[in-house]
Amino acid sequence: MTDNIVKIRGLNKTFIRKTLITRHVEYIYAARNVNLDIPRDSFYGLVGETGSGKTTLGKLILRLIEPDSGSIIFDGIDVTRLSQREIRRIRPMFQVIFQNPQSALNPKQRVKQLIGNPIRFQKKLDSKSVEKEVFRLLDEVQLSAEMAEYFPHQLSGGQIQRVEIARALGLKPKLLVADEPVTSLDASIRGHILNLLLQLKKNREFTVLFIGHDLHIMEKMCDILSVMYKGEIVESGSVKQIFNAPTHKYTKKLVSMRYISD
């Protein structure tokens, strides 16, 4: 038996959309009977095209949205049964970095507040040790100490994503959900962020759920991969297995699309 940090059983989530004029009701199945096991300390990849429900699944695990049915067991605790008050207490254990950090960070706060405030609230430290922690984190994500005084709009896309990583890791999470962290970045900077994630993963103990659609990157980053299609997990397995012997029709198509560089 391997130790799973996240165990998802029979998870369902449906969005209802009413069209504007005809009031026709549309059902969007974002998660359909999802079963997922994420082993502890793994680098878990989740692939799928737009609208396949990968971001929704990420948000469900973080309980940013409520599922219709099913259970999510995070480190032995059923997250779906907790009240909002209880969930707040365990939130530091799962953190998230979003695709568009510019909109995820408060534009009125400086970098030191953005990284320091979560630590101050959750860990109840005095301001001096918070500050020390902020500088340590900035160093860890390879940003210079003077950036602590900057506002988000003064930073470039790559820098701001590193601030986001520092903010998430400041709370020492057990699970980090990385929702398309490099999609909005240029190819030349993307490598920097990916290396940083890999390096941090090596130095600290945490699990990463990496959501993305670029198979090229996923292949090299992840240990285990799940493929999502129309709200269902159609295939899971080790990266090798998925790329060498895809079984589902959709996965086969996806793998064949991959650009062969050599």
Minimum CB separation of residue 243 from other proteins in Å reads 14
Q: Any contact of residue 159 with other proteins (CB under 8 A)?
A: yes
Nearest to 153 by CA among 108, 200, 92, 98: 108
Binding segment (CB under 8 A) for other proteins, from list 7-15, 58-66, 86-94, 150-158: 150-158
Q: 66 or 146: whose CB is closer to other proteins?
A: 146
**Identified binder of other proteins from the candidate list 32, 213, 230, 248, rule CB under 8 A:** 213
Q: Which of residues 108-147 bind other proteins (CB under 8 A)?
A: none
**234 vs 51: CA distance, rounded Å:** 15
Task: Give the neighbor-by-neighbor strand order of the sheet with 224-229.
Answer: 94-97, 175-179, 207-212, 43-47, 224-229, 232-238
Q: What is the rounded CA–CA span in Å between residue 39 and residue 34?
A: 16
The amino acid at 84: Q
From 220, 240, 249, 252, residue interacting with other proteins (rule: CB under 8 A): 220
Task: Dig out the tokens for 15 from the structure.
Answer: 């969005």
156 binds other proteins, rule: CB under 8 A: yes
Per CB under 8 A, does 192 bind other proteins? yes
* Complex with other proteins: residue 133 or 232, whichever CB lies closer: 232
Query: Given candidates 22, 103, 127, 188, which one binds other proteins under the rule CB under 8 A?
Result: 188
Shorter beta-carbon distance to other proteins: residue 79 or 196: 196
Which of 10, 49, 68, 154 contacts other proteins by CB under 8 A?
Answer: 49
Which positions touch other proteins (CB under 8 A)? 49-50, 156-159, 186-192, 194-195, 198, 213, 215-217, 220, 253-254, 257, 259, 261
